[in-house]
Amino acid sequence: MEATRALPKNKGVMRENRKWLCMPYGVFLVLFIILPILLIFCYAFSDADGHFTLNNFIDVFSPDSSGTTFKVIGQSLGVAALTTVICILIAYPIAYILANSKFNKNAVLVYLFLLPMWINFVIRTVATKQLLIFFGLDPAMHPWICSIIGMVYNYLPFAILPLYNTMLKLDKSQIEAAADLGASPVQVFFKTIVPMTVPGIVSAATMTFMPTMSSYVITDALSGRTIKLIGGQIEHQFLHSQLNVGSVYAIIMLALIGLSVVFENFFSEKKKGAR
């Protein structure tokens, strides 16, 4: 009697014990992820001595500098939006073909698209720059074209992968049914395939849009430093030990990321609603 009663209780204790395995990670999360982000807000509102001030914001948004700030925000959004759209337009057909067993029977081709990612991206960017010069596209003369090519080149695999994964799960019978019921290939594409791949498009967009805003290494190398991204502004402040002003830029960045997350959720919610 005693033993059988003790057993479940004992098991409960065991379960409790496994729960505690996440304690070290919890401490890590608080110390190195949550606390540092809170510190960004403290630093943005204080001066070098730690006293409260709004000067950092005034520095960034004063009439003298706000022009540059808004230009940087605009350029970041512009580069990110263009890169995302172009990446998806190129990645979509590639992912469709790779995931379609009619065209491609093994995953080797997929690996081939991912393989360049293992070469250091700074080195790849240098190579891209030299190749563009070889083709007569001097980054100093065509900063936008070169930067966008460099960005698309770097982020294309990140767009292909989520799209490929959704397309593997496409419901083939629905596509066939649409075709059998007399839909033209164009109708089949826009009315069945595209709606079914919306989750893949959304995650491909997130995978490219968010990191491009801070990929200042690529734009620095491929625009002759004429296109400035928010990430570059933060680095600039960091290199000049201006962590307080840098924090203001980080907050701007956080706001933009927050907006993109809201945007992303809006689209995924809509998709869920449609179902």
Chain residues 30-49 in contact with other proteins, contact rule CB under 8 A: 30, 32-37, 39-40, 43
Using CB under 8 A as the binding rule, the residues of this chain from 61 to 90 that contact other proteins are: 90
- Does the protein bind other proteins through residue 28 (CB under 8 A)? yes
Among residues 81, 82, 97, 196, the one that binds other proteins under rule CB under 8 A: 97
Contact positions with other proteins (CB under 8 A) in 247-266: 247, 250, 253-254, 257, 261
Q: How far apart are CA 258 and CA 268, in angstroms?
A: 15
- Taking the complex as a whole, the smallest distance from the CB of residue 92 to other proteins amounts, in Å, to 12
Closest distance of CB 63 from other proteins, Å: 26
The residue from 78, 143, 199, 211 that contacts other proteins (CB under 8 A) is 211
Q: Which residue lies nearer to other proteins by CB, 155 or 178?
A: 155
Considering only 57, 61, 121, 189, the residue that binds other proteins (CB under 8 A) is 121
Q: Which residue has the tokens 């263009």?
A: 82
Instruction: Tell me the residue type at 115.
Output: L
Interface with other proteins, residue 116, by CB under 8 A: yes
Residues 6+ apart with CB under 8 A from 127: none
Backbone angles phi, psi at 46, to 5 degrees: -135, 160
Contact region with other proteins (CB under 8 A), list: 121-129, 137-145, 165-173, 193-201: 121-129
- Asked if residue 126 binds other proteins (CB under 8 A), the reply is yes
Q: Which of residues 192 and 212 has its CB atom nearest to other proteins in the complex? A: 212
Q: Does 25 bind other proteins (CB under 8 A)?
A: yes
The closest alpha carbon to 249, from 68, 102, 50, belongs to: 68
| 64 vs 141, beta carbon nearer other proteins | 141
> What is the distance between the alpha carbons of residues 247 and 243, in angstroms, rounded to a whole number?
6
Interaction of residue 93 with other proteins, rule CB under 8 A: yes
Enumerate residues 6+ apart whose C-beta is below 8 A from 235: 216
Provide the 10 A C-beta neighbour count for residue 131: 12
Task: Figure out which of the listed residues 108, 181, 186, 262 binds other proteins, where binding follows CB under 8 A.
Answer: 108
Does 210 engage in binding with other proteins (CB under 8 A)? yes
Buried/exposed code over 201-222 (b: 16+ C-beta within 10 A; e: otherwise): bbbbbbbbbbbbbbbbbbbbbb
Shortest distance, position 215 Cβ to other proteins, whole Å: 9
Closer to other proteins by CB, 126 or 177: give it: 126
Q: Does 92 bind other proteins (CB under 8 A)?
A: no
Place of tokens 């491909």: 204
Q: Closer CB to other proteins, residue 144 or residue 238?
A: 238
Q: In the window 181-200, what residues touch other proteins (CB under 8 A)?
A: none
Alpha-carbon gap, residue 124 to 119, rounded angstroms: 7
Distances 101 to 132, 155, 169, 173 between C-alpha atoms, Å: 35, 25, 12, 14
